[in-house]
Amino acid sequence: MKDALGSGRFGKVSMVIEKNGGGKFAAKQCACRRASQRQEFDLEIDIMNDLAHPKLLQLYDVIYGKADVTFVLELVTGGELFDRVCDESFDLTEQLAVKYIEQICEAISYMHTKNILHLDLKPENILCLSPARIDMIKIIDFGFARRYEPHKPLRIMFGTPEFVAPEVVNFDPLGKGTDVWSIGVITYVLLSGLSPFMGDNEQETLSNVTACDLDFDDESFDEISPEAKEFITKLLQKQERARPSCDECLKQIWLKKAAEDASSHRKSLCVAVTNLKKFVARRKWIRSINAVRAVTKLQAGLRKGGASITTEPCVSEAMKKLTT
């Protein structure tokens, strides 16, 4: 065990060194005291063992303890993508945004060929490979991922309100387009620094998602090409089946044109970066509040007799109201 890399509601992550060979890995340690938690972890492990793609975080080993489980994972040291984009030395352009979105589409396309849905695509789950390779990304966190059978309806009641698709909020059957919606939201945020459906509270955000009222009126979109706006519009269709597949996304004019005519996409997106700094700060504040709530819940549970932080999906009160 070496340096601590981070912590959260799930537990903690530390750097570990392999005794034989000296390889460096990330060890993610999570509480696991109940049978239901064990089932959730077993599902995540089964899915990760089926994923072998350079843009997806790799699982190397799993160690079950008496009251915890440790995932031995590929070590990724570049930090969260949006944190790097907000760095003063970073020059965000539409061309670079295309490179990130291409990689996300390629990774999720691979998952979809395996009939696996990620179902938790958001900025925090997109990391840069290393400080030296911030142009290369890794998608992480497969705790909400599920296997998809086209003729067997899949419904879930979890996710991050700003990034979930309308069918999640409405508790309708999901499909591969559910991940595509999240990619559309991420693209919108990356190019503008704004969240397309964010409301004053969680319930309003979810209402905005189901209304699917999309616009590009903010001044940040004055710098963005028409092809980029068309790309986002196609991904953020209200009906899941109306959205393109990830393979079709990779063939969209915006991605192809940016690669072929780089000069027209090299303009710095200054307004977007300014907005992104506020967006990232707000997201971190929300995560801090959630972490405090989780610790408080854990302490209260321990006083009552051995409860632990749950890794199971939670349904917010706002989502409950919208789906009943």
Q: Nearest 5°: CA angle at 254, between 93 and 243?
A: 120
Write out pLDDT tens, residues 279-299.
888 887 776 666 555 545 545
List the structure tokens of 96: 């670079």
Contacts of 6 (CB under 8 A, 6+ apart): 12, 13
pLDDT of residue 302: 45
Check pLDDT > 50 for residue 169. Answer: yes
Provide the pLDDT for residue 292.
54
Residue 120 scores a pLDDT above 50: yes
Q: Is the pLDDT of residue 62 over 70?
A: yes
Whole-prediction pTM value? 0.87
Where do we find the tokens 């239901």? 36
Does residue 207 have a pLDDT over 60? Answer: yes
The phi, psi pair for 292, rounded to 5°, reads -65, -45
Phi-psi region at 165: left, alpha or beta (left = phi > 0; alpha = psi -120 to 50): beta
Crossing angle (nearest 10°) for helices 226-235 and 253-260: 150
pLDDT score at 313:
42
- Give the per-residue pLDDT at 260: 65
- What domains are there in the chain, each with its CATH number? 81-280 (1.10.510.10)
Kindly name the residue from 3, 50, 91, 120 that is annotated as catalytic: 120
Counting beta carbons within 10 angstroms of the beta carbon of residue 134, is it exposed (0 to 12), middle (13 to 18) or buried (19 or more)?
buried
Per-residue model confidence (pLDDT) at position 90: 86
Give me the pLDDT at residue 312, please: 36
The Cα–Cα gap between 278 and 80 comes to: 15
For 260-283, write each residue's pLDDT tens digit: 665 556 788 989 999 999 988 888
* % of the chain with per-residue pLDDT over 70: 85
Cα gap 207→213, rounded to integer Å: 10
Angle between helices 176-192 and 94-113 (to 10 degrees): 170
Told to judge if 61 belongs to the known catalytic residues of this protein, a careful annotator would answer no
Angle between helices 270-305 and 176-192 (to 10 degrees): 120
Q: Torsion-angle region of residue 163: left (phi > 0), alpha (psi -120 to 50) or beta?
A: alpha
- Residue 92 clears pLDDT 50, i.e. is over it: yes
